[in-house]
Amino acid sequence: MPLSDPQTWVEQYGDVLFRYAVARLRNPSLAEDVVQETFLAALQSSQRFQEQSSERTWLVGILKHKLIDALRRASREQATTLLDSLAAEPDEQFDEQGRWKIGDADPHAWDANPRLLLQQQEFLAVLDQCLAGLSPRLAHAFVLRELDDVSTKQICQVLGVTPTNVWIMLHRARAQLRKCLERRWFDQPSSR
Amino acid sequence: MRRMFVNFWTGVVAGLGKWLGRLMPPCAHIAQALSESLDHPLAPMRWMAVFLHVRMCLLCRRYQRQLRVLRATLRAYAGQLGGTPAVALPTLSSEAKQRLKAAMQRKV
């Protein structure tokens, strides 16, 4: 299929690309900039469009590169001392012996079906708030790994950190998100 | 001779204790290992420690299940973002669309 008129791209693909970017960058204005960069890069390289793939797949491919560039820029701006503090920071979920603190911090029973959860607008709002609660650097590592299935090796290259740092960051992000969702969704009687 | 015998067995018991301690690390270490197991294969000894611990510890078992639910939910969410979402997700405002169109026209 040949390329459609670039003037129609914004209406056809703008929302899909924007949603994709917002979910990863957690910042609508930055996401808009990245979508703009994507369209401009696509205009420049329209001769390289392979007709075997769909226009949307091609644009999402360009967007992924632009997102990685944006994440790399953002991670350079943040101090690497965050990683040192993360490694040294005691985990509030455990006592001095490393056992779960019973009460608020220990994992409660969840009655969860991912497909059904995603059909609830309220759950998506809570998920969004919980993701927004992660520090930018943790969120970047986390969304690359969990939303885009990027390998930890590639995340190391994007963020300029070691594999051990990435594993600690992912562990902290998962623990924080789990705790946040439990408090704000799974422990709420109205969510069941 | 007797002292050597006692020292030998004290060493053996201490070594065994250390080895068992390594085999049965606390929940905090297991939680970190469970998270890492989603990102890379664990070394055999560490994998064995996690395997045994999770079978005996209800809370770590729950944690493991919850990490899997989180992953499945987020991967499904990623699929939804690129496809037709079941619920309303963020979209570009009409002003933003106008800005994008103007930027593209300038480029053309």
Please report whether residue B10 resides in a domain.
no
- A88 and A182 in a single domain? The answer is yes
pLDDT recorded at residue A88: 47
Q: With a cut of 50, which residues of chain A have pLDDT below it?
A: 79-85, 87-88
Please report whether residue A122 resides in a domain.
yes
Nearest CA in chain A to B100: A36
Please report whether residue B70 resides in a domain.
yes
Identity of the residue in B71, B90, B104 whose CB atom sits nearest the CB atom of A28: B90
* Cα distance from N-terminal residue to C-terminal residue, chain A: 46
pLDDT recorded at residue A171: 94
pLDDT at B37 over 90: yes
Note whether A114 contacts B81, CB cutoff 8 Å. Answer: no
| Of the residues A60, A77, A94, the one at which a domain ends | A77
CB-based contacts of B99: which residues, under 8 Å, 6+ apart? A32, A36
- A180 and A103 in a single domain? The answer is yes
- A171 and A132 in a single domain? The answer is yes
Q: How many domains does chain A have?
A: 2
Please report whether residue B76 resides in a domain.
yes
B96 interfaces chain A, CB cutoff of 8 Å: yes
Which residues in B lie closer than 8 A to residue A154 (C-beta atoms)?
A: none
Please report whether residue A178 resides in a domain.
yes
Please report whether residue A90 resides in a domain.
yes
Q: Which residues 43-82 of B are in CB contact (within 8 Å) with A?
A: 59-60, 62-63, 65-67, 69-78, 80-82
CA A101 to chain centre: 29
pLDDT recorded at residue A78: 59
Note whether A10 contacts B73, CB cutoff 8 Å. Answer: no
Please report whether residue A62 resides in a domain.
yes
CA B65 to chain centre: 11
- Whether this model's pTM surpasses 0.80: no
As a whole number, the mean pLDDT across chain A is: 82
How confident is the model over B27-48, as a mean pLDDT? 94
pLDDT recorded at residue A137: 80
Q: Is A102 exposed, middle or buried (0-12, 13-18, 19+ CB in 10 A)?
A: exposed
CB-based contacts of A141: which residues, under 8 Å, 6+ apart? A155, A159, A166, A169, A170, A173
How confident is the model over B1-15, as a mean pLDDT? 78
- A116 and A164 in a single domain? The answer is yes
pLDDT at B17 over 70: no
Identity of the residue in B29, B70, B97 whose CB atom sits nearest the CB atom of A14: B97
CB-based contacts of A177: which residues, under 8 Å, 6+ apart? A130, A131, A134, A142, B70
- A52 and A85 in a single domain? The answer is no
Look up the CATH number of the domain holding residue A109. Answer: 1.10.10.10
How confident is the model over B90-99, as a mean pLDDT? 83
Q: How many domains does chain B have?
A: 1
Range of the domain at B30: 26-84
| Of the residues A21, A42, A77, the one at which a domain ends | A77
Report how far residue A61's alpha carbon sits from residue B52's, in angstroms, rounded to the nearest whole number: 43
Please report whether residue A55 resides in a domain.
yes
| Of the residues A77, A92, A111, the one at which a domain ends | A77
Note whether B78 contacts A11, CB cutoff 8 Å. Answer: no
Look up the CATH number of the domain holding residue A27. Answer: 1.10.1740.10
Note whether B73 contacts A118, CB cutoff 8 Å. Answer: yes
